[in-house]
Amino acid sequence: MMDWTDRHCRYFMRLLSPSVLLYTEMVTAQALKFGDAASLLRFDEREHPVALQLGGSDPSMMAEAAELGSGEGYDEININVGCPSDRVQSGQFGACLMAVPDVVADCVRAMKASVDVPVTIKTRIGIDNHDDYDFLRRFVDHSVDAGCDTFVVHARKAILEGLSPKENRTVPPLNYERVYRLKQDYPVLTIVLNGGVTTVDEVRSHLDHVDGVMIGRQAYHQPWFLTDLERTFGNGGAPRSRREVVELMLPYIERQLAEGAYLKHISRHMLGLFAGCPGARAWRRHLSENAHKRDAGVDVIEYALERLPEAA
């Protein structure tokens, strides 16, 4: 979810679901070491609980990055061993690390020695021709020995050459049974399933076999889905209407604009809020055509909201 689940997106999604655990977009340990760490790690206190997802393969650098994240207040540090993009592979992190489980284990050890918050792993069920259950189990064993007890498993293998990141989200077939088996064989571990989940009923079915379900693009493109999950599995704190969510966002948007943010960087995450409702197209069009303007303010959002049908 790089370039998607930034701090503005996460604040918006927190309004939709008070209970869900939010994850940052992947941030590389190298970027934190040599870049603007304060800006990369910035988040709003209302986002809690929120996990920082890190990319990297150097244990000492990953430990430093984890310490920075913990110091900023993140509730969990997650190691990305699932992203299949060429850019990620060239940096020696992401899904290609499944082939070197000892490296991942070394990162886990170093990070756990540096922070008190949980260190978890996001991974795939396999890579390229290494897609049998024994391969996944060996990878998990290394990290369990290093102290990791929580794995978020995308139920597709990653094909590192020949497929784009987008194709890697759809072309390799889903294999939920393999994730179920992992939980069955490691009952003391926390196993969270990811990949292709789009309905409340699917979530309910998966929870008969695993400890949790991670939702990615469905929550982004159909954000109101998070309120359905909140009402079904959460603490009952879902907002009453989409309009209420927009109204709750307005003070945040005003604060961010006053601090120098641009409206387009916030409103882009709200485009799908009215998906399936009367006026959804007009909502998206108005934001898309006006939020990018230099002087765009909350009035752009208010105008679009006022012209939605009452049924929206």
Distance CA 104, CA 76 (A): 17
Q: Give SS3 for 69.
A: helix
**Token pair 């390229």 is at which residue?**
128
Distance CA 257, CA 282 (A): 24
78 vs 237 pLDDT, higher one: 78
Nearest CA to 130 out of 155, 99, 102 is that of 99
Identity of the residue numbered 185: D
Per-residue model confidence (pLDDT) at position 238: 87
Rounded to whole angstroms, what are the CA distances from 303 to 31, 221, 252, 272, 312?
Answer: 39, 22, 17, 17, 15
| Triad 16, 18, 23: Cα angle to 5° | 85
Q: Are 109 and 115 in contact (CB under 8 A)?
A: no
- 235, pLDDT greater than 90: no
Task: Summarize pLDDT for 81-125 with one digit per residue, the tens.
Answer: 988 766 555 557 788 999 999 999 999 999 999 999 999 999 999
Which 8-state DSSP code applies to residue 116?
A: S
Identity of the residue numbered 109: R
- Asked if the peptide bond before residue 49 counts as cis, ω within 30 degrees of 0, the response is yes
Per-residue model confidence (pLDDT) at position 237: 84
- 262, pLDDT greater than 80: yes
Per-residue model confidence (pLDDT) at position 86: 61
Q: Are 50 and 22 in contact (CB under 8 A)?
A: yes
Tell me the percentage of the chain whose pLDDT exceeds 70.
93
Per-residue model confidence (pLDDT) at position 224: 97
> Which entry of 83, 96, 107, 148 is annotated as an active-site residue?
83
Buried b (16+ CB within 10 A) or exposed e, 241-253: ebeebbeebeebb
Element at 253 (helix H, strand E)? helix 242-258
Per-residue model confidence (pLDDT) at position 163: 62
Task: Summarize pLDDT for 128-145 with one digit per residue, the tens.
Answer: 889 899 999 999 999 999
φ/ψ (deg, to 5) at 51: -105, 140
Distance CA 126, CA 178 (A): 10
Task: Summarize pLDDT for 190-224 with one digit per residue, the tens.
Answer: 999 999 999 999 999 999 999 999 999 999 999 99
With cut-offs at 50, 70 and 90, classify the pLDDT of residue 159. confident
Q: How many CB atoms lie within 10 A of CB 121?
A: 25
83 given a catalytic annotation: yes
Per-residue model confidence (pLDDT) at position 4: 80
